[in-house]
């Protein structure tokens, strides 16, 4: 099903993508690529022992007394525990950043990790916002401690525009939770710290009606509990054969546009047999409650097996960061790999 009115939206939505639109299939994010998904999912690594030589960062250009100051929004929040798929995300709302300034800016964004996990920043512009995200080559190792020291106050972003505010954010990576959804088999396999805990019968999006579930790698953006879903939010009257309205429990958001993993008791006869939803991953209430209790924001959902593949947006509709190969990721970085 799809979102109408969630109870308790996460403030991180602005960091992950667009304003809430109400339907996973109704909003086309700017960075949708028909490009290939990574040939293999980025598994959780052991701490790297390969020496990394950092490219020296040039001095950032400073702009004291700038006419306009933009304070970036950041995720995760200080003190949070998040899943292994959670990138570090900064967004400069409605602000373009000159490419020639980006290396200096990256040099002011110091990421420290324990154990040491090298990673890299990647820049993206989506609908007027400039984003810079940091991730390792593979998923974060469980239990890692991460600190971002962002010394951006007064740093030039564009002519007449400077960043505002130095900030330090520390967070912890929780257990490795990687959920693999096979749309053809109508199953979700839940793997925690490398051990399969449960295989859940599910129903995904109905591709015959162009409601297919986005494929590729997504992360949990927010745990929203009970969500009221209304087909009018995607332009379908409630009395239409494809219309719907109702409350759905244990709802966990995957995309800004409204794809969820949630309890869907009204589709019980389809679990493990066919895909009948409007794009969400539905399951029994018992399974949804169990999964909800184990899940953190930033846990991974890998989706495959559709007959009409509909790729996950790389940016602008949640965290599609892991759908870029490591080489593609580095191509969007000004300085390349940082030691962590």
The closest alpha carbon to 82, from 265, 254, 221, 205, belongs to: 221
End-to-end CA distance of the chain: give it in Å, rounded. 40
Tokens found for residue 27:
């909003």
H helix or E strand, kind and range, residue 70: strand 68-70
> Out of 122, 133, 186, 280, which one is annotated catalytic?
280
Q: How many CB atoms lie under 10 A from the CB of residue 265?
A: 15
Return all residues near 175 (Cβ < 8 A) that are at least 6 apart: 142, 192, 193, 296
Q: Distance (Å, rounded) from C-alpha 334 to C-alpha 106? A: 7
Instruction: Answer positive or negative: Cα dihedral of 122, 11, 340, 327.
Output: negative
The whole-angstrom distance between residue 85's C-alpha and the CA centroid of its chain comes to: 8
Active site (annotated) includes residue 23? no
> Out of 122, 133, 186, 262, which one is annotated catalytic?
262
Tokens found for residue 166:
């130095």
DSSP state string for 71-121: PPEEES-TT-EE-TT--EEEEETT----GGGHHHHHHTEEEEEES---EEE
The closest alpha carbon to 90, from 102, 296, 145, 37, belongs to: 102
Q: Distance (Å, rounded) from C-alpha 200 to C-alpha 185? A: 11
Would you please indicate which residues are annotated as catalytic (active-site) residues? 262, 280
């Amino acid at each position: 099903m799809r979102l109408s009115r969630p109870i308790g939206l996460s403030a991180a939505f602005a960091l992950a993508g667009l304003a809430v639109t109400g339907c996973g299939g109704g909003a086309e994010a700017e960075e949708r690529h028909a490009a290939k998904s990574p040939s293999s999912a980025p598994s959780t690594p052991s701490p790297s022992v390969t020496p990394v030589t950092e490219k020296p960062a040039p001095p950032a250009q400073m702009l004291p007394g700038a006419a306009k100051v933009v304070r970036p929004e950041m995720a995760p929040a200080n003190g949070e525990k998040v899943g292994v798929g959670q990138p570090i995300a900064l967004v400069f709302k409605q602000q373009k950043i000159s490419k020639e300034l980006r290396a200096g800016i990256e040099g002011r964004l110091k990421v420290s990790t324990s154990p040491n996990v090298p990673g890299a920043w990647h820049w993206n512009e989506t609908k007027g916002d400039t984003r810079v995200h940091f991730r390792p080559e593979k998923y974060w190792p469980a239990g890692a401690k991460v600190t971002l020291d962002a010394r951006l106050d007064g740093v030039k972003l564009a002519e007449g525009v400077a960043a505002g505010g130095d900030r330090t954010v520390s967070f912890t990576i929780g257990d490795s939770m990687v959920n693999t959804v096979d749309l053809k088999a109508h199953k979700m396999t839940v793997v925690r710290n490398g051990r399969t805990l449960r295989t859940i019968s599910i129903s995904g999006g109905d591709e015959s009606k162009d409601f297919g579930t986005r494929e590729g790698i997504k992360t949990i953006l927010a745990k929203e509990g009970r969500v009221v879903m209304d087909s009018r939010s995607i332009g379908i009257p409630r009395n239409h054969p494809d219309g719907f309205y109702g409350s759905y429990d244990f709802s966990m958001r995957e995309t800004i546009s409204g794809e969820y993993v949630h309890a869907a008791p009204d589709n019980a006869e389809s679990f493990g047999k066919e895909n009948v939803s409007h794009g969400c991953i539905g399951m029994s209430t018992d399974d949804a409650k169990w999964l909800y209790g184990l899940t953190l924001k930033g846990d991974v959902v890998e989706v495959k097996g559709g007959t009409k593949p509909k790729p996950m947006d790389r940016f602008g509709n949640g965290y599609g960061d892991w759908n870029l190969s490591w080489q593609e990721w580095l191509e969007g970085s000004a300085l390349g790999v940082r030691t962590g």
